[in-house]
Structure 1
Amino acid sequence: MGDANGGAPAPRRAPVFVEILERLARQRGARVEVEPVYGYAGALIEASGRRHFFKGTHFDINRAGAAALARDKDYAARFLAAAGLAVPRGMLLHSPRRAAQLALKNPDVAARLPARQAAHAFAGEVGFPVFVKPNEGSEGEDVTRVGDAAALDLALDALFAVHERVLVQQAVTGADIRVVVLDGKVEGAFLRRPLAVTGDGVTPLSALIAAEIAGFASGGKGSRIVADDPRILGHLASAGLGPESVPASGLTVPLLANANLSTGGSARDITGELSPELADAALRACAALGLRFAGVDLLHEGEVERSAAGKTAVGRMAADKAPVVLEVNAAPGLSYFHRLGPEAAARVETIYAHLLDALLG
């Protein structure tokens, strides 16, 4: 369909991962066929005609049950804990709408569901701040850090309006690392940092935030956040700050609790620096959920150590500091990492090359 002036519509650029897949498939005597309207789903087609379907970054490599289990954060945490891995404590809540529906079908089950009062008791037990997030979701969408009971109620109200199940989760501190695993091997690791601004002793946070987000969005990264995002305001409030606060010169102020690149976070490739402890935790997490391909999000409070050879090892643990598995993504998106620079882009393309080899083999 042409535009209002009778011309042809502007060509739509394929997502980064599709461009990579198309190039790598040709090198292997295969091809990629993409649905033409959105360009987000399709199939990798071998020369024999055999097809391997994908939708976004969901590929035909993980079994459906394993992928569904990983997507459910509450269930996944239970399986990870059963495998001896450290996970944040959490409590699953059902929206009033969903609870009412369940009461019609199975009133006994509905009566046993934790209510809002239980969430407040849980937060009091583990201590504020806590995270409130959709039980299913990715890229940090709707994840909120709350610092008191009133903020918890506001966050629950906002999430229940759009999500059926909400997880209230203990806050765990530490460096945020995404480890990409394929068939029992670490393919890549990235140290992520949340969206943040640095003070100059003069400019209020409101102006620093607006400038930072404007620069992020202008870089073509597809930001999913705006300057007056309630998550930013809530995060600042939990730290005793507000939009008019003026941070000291050189002071870095995190704006979000999560370090997802889609919400303005930054990252660097640390594949060659990853400690054995973190690599082992990532591999065990994938095995616990039955996943061949996944992105494992770890938090750790270990030190960065330097070996005698001068190489660093990110995530060396003290004996009592096991890494915490925050969640496991059965369809890890790598496009943001691809934009970090030549080294990270090469890493991502190698990951996709190995993924295609696993699918075609």
Structure 2
Amino acid sequence: METPFVTSIIQKVAEKIGAVVLVDPECTFVGLITFRNGNKTFFRSSRFSINSSGSVAIAKDKGVSSFFLNKFGYKVTEGQTFFSEELCEELANTRNIDTGLYYAKELGFPVIVKPINLSKGVFVTKVHNKQEYYQAAKKILQKTSVFIVERFYSGNDYRIVVLDDEVISAYQRIPLFIMGDGQSNVLELMQEKQETFIKNGRKEIIDFEDYRIKKNLRRRKLNFNTVIPKNNIVYLLDNANLSTGGEAVDFTENIHPDFQKLAISIAKDMELRLAGVDILTSDITSPIVDYTIIEINGAPSLTHYASFGEVQTKRVENLYLKVLKALENENFD
């Protein structure tokens, strides 16, 4: 069985500090690290005990984390959660899928509809009307019991990865797109993109059956058979997660100190030593004029980020080395 990327990096950096890694042979993304001083810690993919389970749980809940961030004085997305009757009958009477539509109309289309507690951009949808709203909300409720409707904000999407008082990486995330060559149709361009991902070690990312892709194509009066003119760019998804085919532009060396301080401050206030802070702003290399926090991640995965080059891979290795060194000296009593 192929060793997952994170596991292989953990094994590599653990060797540098004399730690021993025991990996479950069936679930190869799960393991136990034993340090030279006898301390032990488990990991599961990119999840480590460097963050408390409570802080990670709060960060994962987009509605709750947004509440606290707002109370701490940060600029967050305006939104409200809505529930299925199975989860909470009392709340569902006033905050159900139908009242969610009224709220979306109050905010003004387009709005963002997304699950409250899923990751990797699953079902995050930009909706422009009633039909698209119900399609997105029903998809989410088939998977989980709560979704959030948020105001749509324009701007560039950035992720800043923080460990304690240091920014490890900062990069802009660009949504999944294809570029026309004047000969290939949409489906062929998507297949070429998929092949490029696999070649670069990102595996099969594009879900050709994703309703959001089909929705965006219809909105542009396109379909899988449409030939795209040369150099024309077509964005297939609205969310910019790397796990759904987004691409990264690295700004680690150019991030402005204002945004470094902001990301570090957010992580500290959310009681997270390791965090991925997702921010919308116009330019991360200039002093802060305006920004909106999309969400915060207590177990940021950097697998796709590392696939963009040797420099990025080295940054990820450096991050995990620092995480292991911090855990080695942690007091687990």
Relative to the length of structure 2, the TM-score reads 0.91
Q: RMSD of the TM alignment (CA)?
A: 2.1
How much does 1:223 deviate?
2.8
**Structure 2 residue 86 is matched with structure 1 residue 97:** yes
**Structure 2 residue 315 is matched with structure 1 residue 326:** no
Residue of structure 2 aligned with 1:233, choices 204, 214, 218: 214
Match of 2:105 in 1: 124
The question of whether the paired residues in 1 share the 8 Å contact of 2:201 and 2:307 is answered with no
Give the letter for the 1:61 counterpart.
I
Q: After superposition, give the CA deviation of every residue in 1:287-343 in whole Å (9 maximum; x if it has no partner).
A: 2211110111111123xxxxxxxxxxx442564xx2211111101111112211111
The 5 A counterparts of 1:37-48 are 37-48=26-37
Relative to the length of structure 1, the TM-score reads 0.84
Match of 2:177 in 1: 196
Aligned in 2, Cα 1:253/1:277: closer, same or farther, shift over 3 Å? farther
Q: Secondary structure at the match of 2:327?
A: helix
Match of 2:241 in 1: 260
**Structure 2 residue 62 is matched with structure 1 residue 73:** yes
Q: Distance in 2 between matches of 1:242 and 1:123?
A: 28
Give the letter for the 2:159 counterpart.
R
The question of whether the paired residues in 2 share the 8 Å contact of 1:146 and 1:234 is answered with no
Q: Distance in 2 between matches of 1:273 and 1:196?
A: 25
Q: Secondary structure at the match of 2:12?
A: helix
Q: Distance in 1 between matches of 2:75 and 2:220?
A: 26
Match of 1:292 in 2: 273
Residue of structure 2 aligned with 1:358, choices 312, 326, 330: 326
- Which of 128-137 and 198-207 deviates more? 198-207
Q: Distance in 2 between matches of 1:126 and 1:315?
A: 30
How much does 1:219 deviate?
4.2
Q: How many residues align?
A: 329
**Structure 2 residue 13 is matched with structure 1 residue 32:** no
Match of 1:308 in 2: none
Greater C-alpha Rg:
1
Q: Distance in 2 between matches of 1:84 and 1:166?
A: 24
Match of 1:9 in 2: none
- Which of 231-240 and 260-269 deviates more? 231-240
Aligned in 2, Cα 1:245/1:81: closer, same or farther, shift over 3 Å? farther
Q: Distance in 2 between matches of 1:34 and 1:181?
A: 26
Aligned in 2, Cα 1:152/1:286: closer, same or farther, shift over 3 Å? same
How much does 1:38 deviate?
1.1
How much does 1:24 deviate?
1.4
Residue of structure 2 aligned with 1:205, choices 158, 179, 186: 186
**Structure 2 residue 127 is matched with structure 1 residue 146:** yes
Q: Distance in 1 between matches of 2:68 and 2:15?
A: 39
Aligned in 2, Cα 1:238/1:93: closer, same or farther, shift over 3 Å? farther
Q: After superposition, give the CA deviation of every residue in 1:118-149 in whole Å (9 maximum; x if it has no partner).
A: 21122112222222221112111222222111
Give the letter for the 1:266 counterpart.
E
Q: Secondary structure at the match of 1:97?
A: coil
Q: Distance in 2 between matches of 1:346 and 1:94?
A: 43
Q: Which runs of 5+ in 1 are unaligned?
A: 1-11, 303-313
Q: Secondary structure at the match of 2:169?
A: strand
Match of 1:311 in 2: none
The question of whether the paired residues in 2 share the 8 Å contact of 1:294 and 1:328 is answered with yes
Give the letter for the 1:22 counterpart.
Q
Q: Distance in 2 between matches of 1:316 and 1:237?
A: 37
How much does 1:247 deviate?
4.4
Match of 2:73 in 1: 84
Aligned in 2, Cα 1:237/1:281: closer, same or farther, shift over 3 Å? farther
Aligned in 2, Cα 1:239/1:81: closer, same or farther, shift over 3 Å? farther
Q: Distance in 1 between matches of 2:117 and 2:51?
A: 17
The question of whether the paired residues in 2 share the 8 Å contact of 1:334 and 1:348 is answered with yes
Q: Distance in 2 between matches of 1:125 and 1:214?
A: 42
The question of whether the paired residues in 2 share the 8 Å contact of 1:213 and 1:226 is answered with no
Q: Which runs of 5+ in 2 are unaligned?
A: none
Aligned in 2, Cα 1:81/1:263: closer, same or farther, shift over 3 Å? same
- Which of 325-334 and 126-135 deviates more? 126-135
Q: Secondary structure at the match of 1:98?
A: coil
How much does 1:353 deviate?
1.2
Aligned in 2, Cα 1:347/1:131: closer, same or farther, shift over 3 Å? same
Aligned in 2, Cα 1:46/1:214: closer, same or farther, shift over 3 Å? closer
